[in-house]
Amino acid sequence: MTEKSRYEERIRHVESHVFSEFNAEMNERAVKKILTGADGLSRSIRTLERRANAMAVYECFVNRNVKSAKDWFFTLSNLQLKRLSLIDPGERHTAFTSFDGSSSAFSGDTRTQIEMGAILSSLYQGQSVEPNLQFITEQEALIFQGISQGPASRNLIEVSEIQKNDLLSLDVELFVKLKSGTDDEIRAILLAICDESENRFRLESGFTEGLMNTPATYYMKLVHMAGRDLSLEHPMLPMELVKNENDQGRVFKFPELEDVIISEL
């Protein structure tokens, strides 16, 4: 299968989900359950998260409407925050990963980013996790929480040793270079992460797989949030999601749920 045919196949996968009547009915039932306070609130929210994720990818890669894509990422991040508010903090790591924070980053919305930073800062507190994953999550949290105070790269902590054989060793090195490295060193690491995409499908949503490298795109966005204005050309790294133009004034795409999901956060 050629790269073009693989890309077209992934686009068809996203479109089939977006236009599925079955999924539309599921989404309608989820909205009604949330409005009526029926049992299974978290499950209903998760259904709409999947819809928001699919629509964000559809708008970005099919319609090429970046503003709408960011609105859907904004919607997704608010749904995530609401669902996480229903989970005991000590159990959130079982229902969320540091890479799920990418939705808030791509949305460009300061409020949700700060709230996501608070979630990430305590996500693995008291848990036994891989040191590299712990370090990466701490760095992400610092960048999210620092955006209201200007470039957050000054907040990044040092790391004494990188576990070289770990899948996330490049990720750790990226944050090390973000604190003390050059722009070219950061670009080189992001390119290396993109080239590892076959090994990173487990970090994709099912909709982004084959269309973008979520970790690399997420990290490039964090690099910008930390005060480094870098650009990089790679077919798996859509820079339009990274750029900060017109990032405020996001629209929540389930307006009938806005009071329930956002106002009660």
Q: Per the structure block, which two tokens stand in for 168? A: 């996330």
Q: Per the structure block, which two tokens stand in for 4? A: 């073009």
Q: Is 12 helix (H, G, I), strand (E, B) or coil?
A: helix
For residues 203 and 124, is the Cβ–Cβ distance under 8 A?
Answer: no
Given a cut of 50, whether residue 153 has pLDDT beyond it is: no
The whole-model pTM stands at: 0.90
Tell me, rounded to whole angstroms, the distance of Cα 107 from its chain centroid. 9
Q: Over the stretch 171-202, which tens digit does the pLDDT of each residue have? A: 989 998 988 899 999 999 999 998 876 666 55
Q: Any residues with CB less than 8 A from the CB of 248 and at least 6 apart, and which? A: 108, 109, 110
Q: Over the stretch 85-144, which tens digit does the pLDDT of each residue have? A: 999 999 999 999 888 899 999 999 989 999 999 999 889 888 787 888 888 898 899 899
Q: Per the structure block, which two tokens stand in for 135? A: 């370090």
Residue located via tokens 């490039």 = 220
For residues 70 and 62, is the Cβ–Cβ distance under 8 A?
Answer: no
Quick one: pLDDT at residue 148? 55
Domain boundaries, the chain: 3-261
Q: Output phi, psi for 150, to 5 deg.
A: 95, -170
Q: How confident is the model at residue 164 (pLDDT cuts 50, 70, 90)?
A: low
Task: Quickly list DSSP for 76-116.
Answer: HHHHHHHHHHTS-GGGGGGT--GGGGHHHHHHT-HHHHHHH
